[in-house]
Structure 1
């Protein structure tokens, strides 16, 4: 999305300075800080609630832990940080672009959904061919042991995961980068930042985690591109939600009807975002 030179960061100083390099560095620092703060706020909220429940004698089951994470980390954490940043800069929600999808937007949603899954399949084939080892996603592994969690994650993909993550990483992070960089660079950097935060939601060796992160960058590039083309945050949120819901559904069906005991590489390589 295009930036406006008069936007400010909550002070009397304009976002744009006389030095383009300073603008770029400032945008990068803010983008990374937003990602870190989003994760930090979500983690603190989840930790506080879990500790409170434990002190109250309430057992925290895997299903309950997922519910808490979805509501507080993804919803309140990511969404709250995004809205807080907009408030800090004196910007309205129109900064991220939000509207009922038009027929054109729906076409981009369908195209983006197909493209993101196609890239996932292609990346999985490449990984299998070269013999690289992806890192399993801890949420997917938890779903292997507790399939009912996957049934919760399917609607949550549309209601919390897609909207919360896209609001922060596309609506705020990508837009902030776009104020100092060309659209293509902003899309790539926002996708790289988003993929990198999943390092700690993966299990396995660091090298395997990097393999999964490199795969995760691909669908997020699609999310960012569709957002740039439509200026409507609802579009990447729907694509993101549909992408996740599809993978969670496939995993659930595989567990129930194929008696799977190990995480399939198709899902392991996907690094399901949460």
Structure 2
């Protein structure tokens, strides 16, 4: 992906210093700031929208809440922060690599999708074996109470969640890290940052949340690796979107055919 030698930085963010350690620290700080700002901007937009609706006398239902979050937090928040950063540095979309997937890219999408679920199954077996307790996702819990939300989240995974999150966390965060670090390290750190931001979207004890975050890192590593191999942000966006859509679809089917105890176990997988 991008390196210091091939990035023109009009704003000075990635201008190399004489000390490689300084370059690494700068890349880490910028990557973390991007992640925090993305979450912060999304949260502020959602909060402002909810406040406006409340003042207008509109009741914010769980379904409307999800719609607002998808549109403003994931779409405008993550995507806007990513595009704003590119503009700040005087970079175009070619920095993140956006192209119509080739047959080779499609093969990587399929391979990444399969690998993501293989790692999820492996992690589930390990967690079950050691007796660890993962934390359920609050969105999945909301979907259990309001199944119509899941039907919305399935297409939204492909249209908003995958593209929005990948544009910021792979296209910008991972790329920025790769300017100062080897690709495998950049992929791991970007994946760790991405998984860690989900701490507040989980419920339960901190230890249980850490278990879930450790599981989330695994498919995220696949997203980052496929991006590095293809230089096309559409590839991890499709893998991520299809991965999430499948999980929401499985949860919806589970709601229709399983009892309460099985439902509880299913939601822990999210």
Both proteins in one fold, TM over 0.5: yes
* Helix, strand or coil at the partner of 1:42: helix
Contact 2:4–2:15 (CA under 8 A) maintained in structure 1:
no
Number of residue pairs aligned between Structure 1 and Structure 2: 270
Cα distance change on mapping 1:29 and 1:9 into 2, 3 Å: farther
Distance 1:241 1:13 in 2: 31
Indicate whether 1:132 and 2:132 are aligned.
yes
What SS class does the counterpart of residue 127 from structure 1 fall into? helix
Instruction: Write the deviation string for residues 16-72 of structure 1: whole angstroms up to 9, x where unpaired.
Output: 111100000000000000000000000000000001101111000000000000000
Map 1:1-274 onto structure 2 (within 5 A).
1-5=1-5, 7=7, 9-11=9-11, 15-260=15-260, 263-270=263-270
> Contact 1:136/1:204 (CA < 8 Å) preserved in 2?
yes
- Return the TM-score normalized by structure 1: 0.95
CA shift digits 1:63-121 (9 cap, x unpaired)? 00000000000000000000000000000000000100000000000000000011001
Whether contact under 8 Å (1:121, 1:266) holds in the other structure is no
Aligned-pair CA distance for 1:3: 1.3
Q: Distance between the aligned counterparts of 1:102 and 1:167, measured in 2?
A: 19
Partners of 1:206 and 1:107 in 2: how far apart?
Answer: 38
Contact 1:124 1:265 in 2 (8 A): no
What is the CA-CA distance between 1:4 and the residue it aligns to?
Answer: 3.8
Deviation at 1:262, TM superposition (A): 5.8
CA shift, 1:256, in A, is 1.2
- Give 1:257 shift: 2.0
CA displacement 1:150-170 (0-9 Å, x = unmatched) = 000000000000000000000
d(CA) in 2 for partners of 1:266, 1:229? 33
Q: Residue 167 of structure 2 contacts residue 233 of structure 2 at CA under 8 Å; is this kept in 1?
A: yes
TM-score (norm 2): 0.97
**Any stretches of 5+ residues in structure 1 without a counterpart?**
none
Within 1, Cα distance between the matches of 2:197 and 2:49?
22
Distance in 2 separating the partners of 1:6 and 1:123: 38
Deviation at 1:267, TM superposition (A): 4.2
